[in-house]
Amino acid sequence: MQDNDTLLLIMQAGSMGTSLTLCLLLVLSRFQKPDTTKIYEQIRLLLIFAMLLLFIHYALQMGYGFRAQGDDVGALINILFYSPVIYILSYSQIRIGCGSGYQLRHILASIVSMLLIFSCFLYGFLHYGSLHMKGALHTMGLLFFITMAYFILYPASELRRVGKLVDEESGREPVQYKLYMRSGTILLDLAAALIPFSIFYTPALAIAGPIILICLLFYIICFIALGFDIRTVKNIITDESEKQKTARVASVHTGGSVKVQDEDTLKEEELFTMGEEDKRHVSLAIENWRHNQGYGQTELNSVVLATRLNISKRMLVQYLREVEGKTFRIWLSDLRLEEAKRMMKEHPDYSNETIAEACGFSRTYLQSKFKESTGLTINEWKESSLAG
């Protein structure tokens, strides 16, 4: 029994130290990269608060020995502290990964969940007169399980959907997005799914606890790393969010069918026609950009490119539609693939990794684009090209 108590104290001390370390990492990283965004800094403050909650939780567990009083008391305290921490972590995924249009539902669900859980706790404490309140604990556990499932599945589904928007706008595999949002959140969600099944049984918590802390550490590190590129990723998401904000639905009857378009599309198609001088101006700007290998810049979207060409995004999109007959995503992907083929012919000694990096691809994405475009792998295409 004494060995179990010692092991429990060691686990709690380690968890407390980890929480404090993560809190300090979040604070200190603020001074390393001060020029992020207002939203990012708001999330940083929330995560700092969450880590402080965890620190206080483990300090109370050590000081008052809640887990030592029984698994029911330990689970009760875990639910009270873990709930707001999980809501904050889930909110950080939604707010950073999906923008401002997705937060209201999450905030309402968080408020309702916390009110229900704390109401059950107050009722149980008043009814039983102690922290041993098995009846109320069962209800709290059920509420905790349901809300955990919601706060794991909802951000995951929205991040997946917004990830597709990022891919469409950027014209390439969103490596940074996957690294900072998907990898960290997937691991954190898998770890969080273990919590409802482990907090009620100390031996299970002893196994799941370190896994959860490691995943939390990875998530915080990914969040800090995101701060060094947050403006680039935000350009993509904000561009899509602004389009959603300003969009109006209009019905254009063509051949008995109804085509739904947003305001931006209507403006581009009905109110704006490029003249030959405009087309020559955009064409020359694109050729100069291409000559300077601007396509090799990894985080590129229509807004960024239009800014670098010193033209409006609307003009760029219209040019690509009228002259190239392509969307930005398809045009940029085809251009990069064309440049990759040219480099392979001119520099057969270059590795695939070098060519992919020079053209703004990742190696795996370049391989998939080659297969999709030519039906051949890169090596097969090289052999057939040299033979020809």
Q: How far apart are CA 166 and CA 176, in angstroms?
A: 10
In degrees, rounded to 5, the angle at the alpha carbon of residue 155 between the alpha carbons of residues 153 and 160 is 95
Q: Which residues of the chain have pLDDT under 70?
A: 1-4, 97-102, 159-181, 229-272, 298-299, 363, 386-388
pLDDT at 252: 36
Q: Is 116 helix (H, G, I), strand (E, B) or coil?
A: helix
> In 3-state terms, what secondary structure has residue 213?
helix
- With 0-12 / 13-18 / 19 or more C-beta atoms within 10 angstroms meaning exposed / middle / buried, residue 115 is exposed
135 contacts: CB under 8 Å, gap ≥ 6: 124, 127, 128
Name the segment(s) of the chain with CATH classification 1.20.1070.10. Answer: 2-238
Q: Which amino acid is at 63?
A: G
> Both tokens of residue 131?
């922290």
**Cβ neighbour number for residue 318 with a 10 Å cutoff:** 20
List pLDDT tens digits, range 245-291. Answer: 334 333 333 344 434 333 344 344 444 577 888 888 999 999 998 88
Coil/strand/helix, residue 361: coil
In the DSSP assignment, the letter for residue 321 is I
Task: Identify the pLDDT of residue 26.
Answer: 95
pLDDT of residue 375: 86
Q: For residue 155, what are its two tokens?
A: 């951000």
Tell me, what's the pLDDT at 115? 95
pLDDT recorded at residue 158: 72
pLDDT score, position 17: 95
Q: Tell me which of 3.30.1370.60, 3.30.1490.150, 1.20.1070.10, 3.40.50.1400 is the CATH number of domain 2-238.
A: 1.20.1070.10
| Positive/negative CA dihedral, 181, 189, 209, 115 | positive
Decide which of 3.40.50.1480, 1.20.1260.10, 2.60.40.3880, 1.10.10.60 is the CATH code for 274-387. 1.10.10.60
CB 204 within 8 A of CB 198: yes
Q: What is the pLDDT of residue 46?
A: 95
Residue whose C-alpha is closest to residue 57's, from 32, 95, 84, 39: 84
Domain with CATH 1.10.10.60 in the chain: 274-387
- 261 membership: H or E segment, kind and range: strand 257-261
DSSP 312: -
CB 99 within 8 A of CB 112: no
CB-hemisphere CA count at 13 Å for 309? Answer: 31
